[in-house]
């Protein structure tokens, strides 16, 4: 998104368990947003983060999260549902006619696989033994429910 205007939208996998999205609108976008978007009781536009998986068969919706006010960043816990998936975030606003209107799309981020996904990948005895020899299992830190404390 960067380059054409004064705005940006990034997503980073942070601390091994969070997806951190950050964005900024330029003044023209803010003007359009304030003109077209539904507003909350405080007059702020109603924004949402749509989280999607980019799979070979197309985009698969994972969840939509409300983003209140004029926040410029949001965190999403990357739990087991995200493991091994290639994720994109879409920043959308709720228009006055009720439809969701896209504002920005992030670059994709692929999250580490869960152990069972790796196990499923290793079909042959040769692959399993090579995997053990690489020591990759000892170095992996993928998303998992047990690592989420809040």
Partner 1 sequence: MTADTDRRGRSRILLLLHSHLPYVPASRQGLTLEETWLYQNLTECYLPLAMMLRELSASTTPFGVTVSLSPTLLSMTQNPGHIRGYRRYLDMLFRLLSAKTVMRDSDAAGARAHLERRVTEIRRRFDEIGGHIVDEWRSLARDPRITFITTCATHAILPAYRFSTSLVRLQVETGLRYFESALGFRPDGFWLPEMAYYEGLDSVLRKCGIRYTFLDTGGLYGAGLPPAHGCFQPYVTESELLLFPRDAELSGAIWSAREGYPGDFRYREFHYDYTWSLTESELAAENIGRMPAGLKLYRITGGDTPKQFYDPREAANAVTSHARDFIRRVSMRAASISEIAGITPLFTLPFDAELFGHWWYEGPEFLQSVIEAAAHSNIECVTPNFFTAEGTYSRLLPTESSWGRNGAFETWLNPECEPIYHRIADLYTRLIRTPSSGPMAKAQQCAFRELLLAQSSDWPFFIAWKTSADYGRLRLREHLDAAETILRGMEAGTINNAYLLERERRYPLFVGTPGKPPCESD
Least distance (Å) between residue 118 CB and partner 1: 6
From the list 16, 32, 44, 144, which residue makes contact with partner 1 (rule: CB under 8 A)? Answer: 16
Q: Return the number of the residue (39 or 141) whose C-beta is nearest partner 1.
A: 141
Instruction: Pick between residue 53 and residue 94 the one whose CB is nearest to partner 1.
Output: 53
CA 137 to CA 118: how far, in whole Å? Answer: 9
CB of 45 to partner 1, least distance (A): 20
Any contact of residue 113 with partner 1 (CB under 8 A)? yes
- Which structure tokens are listed for 10? 């990034």
Single out the residue of 48, 79, 86, 100 in contact with partner 1 (rule: CB under 8 A).
86
Count of positions on this chain that bind partner 1 (CB under 8 A): 50
Query: CA 45 to CA 50: how far, in whole Å?
Result: 16
- Which residue is associated with the tokens 């705005």? 7
Question: Could you write out the three-class secondary structure of the chain?
Answer: CECCECCEEEEEEECCCEEEEEEECCHHHHHHHHHHECECCCCCECEEEEEEEEECCEEEEEEEEEECCCCCEEEEECCHHHCCCEEEEEEEEEECCCCEEEEEECCCEECCCCHHHHHHHCCCHHHHHHHHHHCHHHHCCCCCHHHCCC
CB of 64 to partner 1, least distance (A): 21
Binding flags for partner 1, 25-64, as an x/- string (CB under 8 A): ----------------------------------------
Q: List residues binding partner 1 (CB under 8 A).
A: 1-16, 18, 20, 22, 24, 72-73, 84, 86, 106-113, 118, 121-123, 126-127, 129-131, 133-136, 138-142
């Amino acid at each position: 998104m960067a380059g054409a205007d004064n705005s940006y939208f990034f997503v980073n996998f942070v601390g091994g368990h969070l997806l951190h999205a950050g964005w900024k609108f330029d003044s023209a976008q803010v003007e359009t947003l304030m003109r077209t978007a539904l507003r909350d009781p405080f007059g702020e536009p109603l924004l949402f983060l749509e989280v999607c998986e980019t799979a070979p068969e197309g985009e698969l919706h994972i969840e939509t999260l409300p983003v209140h006010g004029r926040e410029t960043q949001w965190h999403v816990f990357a739990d087991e549902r995200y493991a091994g998936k290639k994720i994109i975030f879409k920043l959308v606003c709720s228009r006055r006619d009720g439809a969701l209107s896209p504002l920005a799309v992030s670059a994709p981020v692929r999250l580490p696989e869960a152990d069972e996904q790796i196990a499923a990948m290793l079909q042959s005895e040769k692959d399993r033994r090579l995997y053990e020899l690489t020591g990759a299992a000892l170095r992996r830190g993928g998303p998992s429910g047990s690592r989420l404390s809040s």
